[in-house]
Amino acid sequence: MALVEVRDVVKRYGPFEVLKGLSLEVEPHQVVCLIGPSGCGKSTLLRCINGLEPIQGGEIRLHGDRVSGPGVDVNALRRDVGIVFQSFNLFPHMTVLENVTLAPIRVRGVPKAEAEERAMTLLGRIGLDHKAREYPDRLSGGQQQRVAIVRALAMEPMVLLLDEITSALDPELVAEVLNIVRDLATDGMTMLLATHEMGFAREVASKICFLEGGVVHEEGPPERIFKEPASERTRAFLKRIIEAGRL
């Protein structure tokens, strides 16, 4: 059974339809990369799966349990589905350690000492334990994004959604963030990521989904999608990416 099942999801902002009956599956331990032009609905899809945006049609299932529509405990859903944003969104008035321990303490009810110990272990893994008492504004973009990943991981989610997490970073900081994602993939974390880093997608993805026009236009293993895309539109998109020097 797929861990995340997205079936015929429709999402509208007023009269503007972003997702037009989109379907997608993520198996456990899979890394699924969403690629596609700006405005194709990659971020919107991730926000819908996390329950940050209500959907107007179709359904989303997590581990077989329906998590979209009325009556769903979105707080419970979000405990199991972590999301990392393009703009980090760390809490500026809290130290790194407080950022990471806030949700475990307040949502999961983990004792403070235990949460901090776990947070320090995680921060140690990404080499930022010496920054635990600093405020986010003192960290570089790459460091902030790594903390944001750890903040999501501290809730021990079943699946991690990554929304263009390197797009706001200076080029030389991208690698340190991608390395963590690579490590997570090796550790077997199930991930669904929207990205413009095609080289990275090609390397870590189990499956590539090309989104266009509010649906998954083409999907398949990275070797096939990047080498011999079946659809003309996928080809055109990849050609533009290559022209921009991104692949």
Q: Quote the least distance from Cβ 139 to other proteins, whole Å.
A: 8
83 counts as binding other proteins under rule CB under 8 A: yes
Question: Binding segment for other proteins among 135-143, 167-175, 178-186, 229-237 (CB under 8 A)?
Answer: 135-143
The DSSP letter of residue 174 is H
Q: Round to whole Å and give the CA distance between 238 and 12.
A: 27
Please, which residue, 150 or 215, has the CB nearer to other proteins?
150
Beta carbons of 17 and 11 less than 8 angstroms apart:
yes
Binding mask of the shown chain, residues 98 to 117, with x at each position contacting other proteins by CB under 8 A: ----xx--xxx---------
**Distance, first Cα to last Cα, the chain:** 33
118 counts as binding other proteins under rule CB under 8 A: no
45-74 residues near other proteins, rule: CB under 8 A? 47, 50, 52, 74
85 counts as binding other proteins under rule CB under 8 A: yes
22 counts as binding other proteins under rule CB under 8 A: no
Closest CA to 189 of 145, 155, 225, 144: 155
Q: Going by C-beta distance under 8 Å and a sequence separation of 6 or more, which residues neighbour residue 245?
A: none
91 counts as binding other proteins under rule CB under 8 A: yes
Q: How far is CA 61 from the centre of its chain?
A: 17
